[in-house]
Structure 1
């Protein structure tokens, strides 16, 4: 393997044939931009325990060396991890070398930039199937990414959209309407119910966060990015606190807009009501302390934190952004409000905080609904797609 490809795995290679002379394992390369703690990245880690190692040999490649939070977790799950490097277009050459030297049979990309590189590097004549999971709506991409993605999109052999909203956004711009559209299907990835069932009790979490045991908690779990809508949650919090003075807001995550969120909290005099919890390995455990989950997104594909909270029996107040409203029926498993509307967001939060019975009923319904979003089903369907393409 060329030096330019940093190999993050030092274990012996997995045998390519099954014991006893069985069929060869097909090699699958999972390709993503970074391995930080984002939704798409976390899905790779959640899926890892359920990959069929009797049929496929999986490895992971990523571009951004500084986004490596999940490398150790993936390696512990038995996946070899490679960093392709992100300086200029050289990572594409590193990808080509990795695929050729590793003898990969299929590439599954989870981010538009590496997917674009794979499509360019391996045209149809290369006979390398490419599967692409679309995690975002097309209108959210920067102009260059949007056009490069659209121009190369027909090279995909199969596309998985994480929600119907995402699927509906996949449309060629007018100048490209003559390009063929690959097969696109919607697949809700879901959560790992086994892992969530083993989440430890919440003893000590409130104390650690400085939250009294007898006050209501509204929480959100999302990286700090413009599309996640933290500003609208902060604005809603001012109104919620007037109705429920002892409420606390716990924000789990990190990201570039966190300083802005802290400033908004200070400007509204809400410091005593907010806890910035940062990144938490035990985010589901922290979610157990929430009375209500807030999902104030302006743009979203499908919030994994929402599905996790539902699995834990937590009702949510969420915006009609992306696929989130596809998994929660308004008034049944939670409350769905318009995007970028802090007053509506506040009204929903206050309603749930003031009505214990409603909160319990919706939490119970949310837990039942979440049972239909199982990462194991998504893995099984994805591997069926691989099998079909590799016949």
Structure 2
């Protein structure tokens, strides 16, 4: 079965990691023949997850073409290769580039473009929603994402992220993490997420300020790419040494391993890879929830962690304090979370889910 995996790039990101983890397994199955088509990549510098370069997968780079040219280039590729299925991972809007191929060659398309419970506003949402007409199925890793994005029920298939335990290879010891960031406190609370408006860093900082007023023996670490300056300005002067924005970190799992609590303050999210990683390491979770966040699908409130409404600084801080004050509660919630990931979000269930979808199109 010949499958075109179409994406914009394979730089860092949850969707990109998910695609790579899937292909690392399925590309070994002689039943499937994969071609990865990078619509914005010109060479393998657009691939951050280098493991995929060692898989039996063909790569086609179309980054030198504009969007109009891409329509013809992609059609020509598909006509030549005679793919049985096109699997879109890039943004929904790329459906317009794939549509002529879909209709002229009768090649089915499935989409994994929706990865968060975030709804685009106004015309952008209507433009994206219209692309559902081009897809046989719309896949996501969050049921809440289907509701928010108004995906037709007969097209929606939820396949949860599969966590690969190989990612838990701890490269740096807790002692080395403490030394790296100059941590002298007894407790560490960490969060990973881009420094952007999609994450609720004002909540993270204001809650950290409140926690430190009650318990100064804590260091908060915020890992991510982007501009952290607006959020650092919210840190109270006396806590500058205990609320640290450390930028992009390549060994997030090592920081989580050294932490006592893992948090995620966000306003837009599907099923978070960051939360999944923290739970796999046996860490209790404190996270926001709401109509645009799918964290309730992985975190069991009051069992594997705590869920707090958007912008509720007092509640977010209270849950962190409660965990820091109770060693047994941290241990029990962490163990429960670890079991949830192993049972519900293992790599096998994800791979089997995609394989089942693919096999429905096997001629």
So what's the TM-score if we normalise by structure 2? 0.89
Contact 1:154 1:181 in 2 (8 A): no
Contact 2:208 2:243 in 1 (8 A): no
Q: Which residue of 2 aligns with 1:327?
A: 298
Q: Which residue of 1 aligns with 2:2?
A: 27
Task: Could you tell me which runs of 5 or more consecutive residues in structure 2 were left unpaired when the two chains were aligned.
Answer: none
How many Å separate the matches in 1 of 2:53 and 2:219? 37
Contact 1:163 1:186 in 2 (8 A): yes
Q: Which residue of 2 aligns with 1:131?
A: 110
The question of 1:216 aligning with 2:181 is answered: no
Contact 1:192 1:376 in 2 (8 A): no
Q: Which residue of 1 aligns with 2:34?
A: 58
Contact 2:10 2:46 in 1 (8 A): yes
Question: What secondary structure is seen at the aligned counterpart in 1 of 2:241?
Answer: helix
Higher mean C-alpha displacement, 221-230 vs 142-151: 142-151
Do the aligned partners of residues 148 and 215 (structure 1) sit closer, same or farther apart at CA in structure 2, a change above 3 Å counting? same
Contact 2:115 2:145 in 1 (8 A): yes
* Structure 1 residue corresponding to 2:60, chosen from 55, 64, 82: 82
Contact 1:111 1:135 in 2 (8 A): no
* Structure 1 residue corresponding to 2:70, chosen from 91, 94, 106: 91
Q: CA RMSD in A?
A: 2.4
How many Å separate the matches in 2 of 1:195 and 1:72? 14
Q: How far apart are residue 118 of structure 1 and its match?
A: 4.4
How many Å separate the matches in 1 of 2:153 and 2:46? 33
Q: Which residue of 2 aligns with 1:264?
A: 234
Question: What secondary structure is seen at the aligned counterpart in 1 of 2:262?
Answer: strand
Question: What secondary structure is seen at the aligned counterpart in 2 of 1:89?
Answer: helix
Question: What secondary structure is seen at the aligned counterpart in 1 of 2:234?
Answer: helix
* Structure 1 residue corresponding to 2:309, chosen from 329, 333, 338: 338
Contact 1:74 1:81 in 2 (8 A): no
How many Å separate the matches in 2 of 1:32 and 1:54? 22
Q: How far apart are residue 201 of structure 1 and its match?
A: 5.7
Q: How far apart are residue 136 of structure 1 and its match?
A: 2.4
How many Å separate the matches in 2 of 1:376 and 1:27? 22
Higher mean C-alpha displacement, 76-85 vs 322-331: 76-85
Question: What secondary structure is seen at the aligned counterpart in 1 of 2:300?
Answer: coil
Do the aligned partners of residues 270 and 122 (structure 1) sit closer, same or farther apart at CA in structure 2, a change above 3 Å counting? farther
The question of 1:108 aligning with 2:87 is answered: yes
Task: Could you tell me which runs of 5 or more consecutive residues in structure 1 were left unpaired when the two chains were aligned.
Answer: 1-25, 173-179
Number of residues of Structure 1 aligned to a counterpart in Structure 2:
354
Do the aligned partners of residues 277 and 92 (structure 1) sit closer, same or farther apart at CA in structure 2, a change above 3 Å counting? farther
Contact 1:45 1:70 in 2 (8 A): no
Q: How far apart are residue 60 of structure 1 and its match?
A: 2.1
* Structure 1 residue corresponding to 2:347, chosen from 375, 381, 384: 375
Higher mean C-alpha displacement, 148-157 vs 82-91: 82-91
How many Å separate the matches in 2 of 1:296 and 1:181? 30
Question: What secondary structure is seen at the aligned counterpart in 2 of 1:317?
Answer: strand
Q: How far apart are residue 284 of structure 1 and its match?
A: 1.3
Contact 2:24 2:52 in 1 (8 A): no
How many Å separate the matches in 1 of 2:2 and 2:15? 21
The question of 1:308 aligning with 2:277 is answered: yes
How many Å separate the matches in 1 of 2:228 and 2:9? 20
Q: How far apart are residue 53 of structure 1 and its match?
A: 2.9
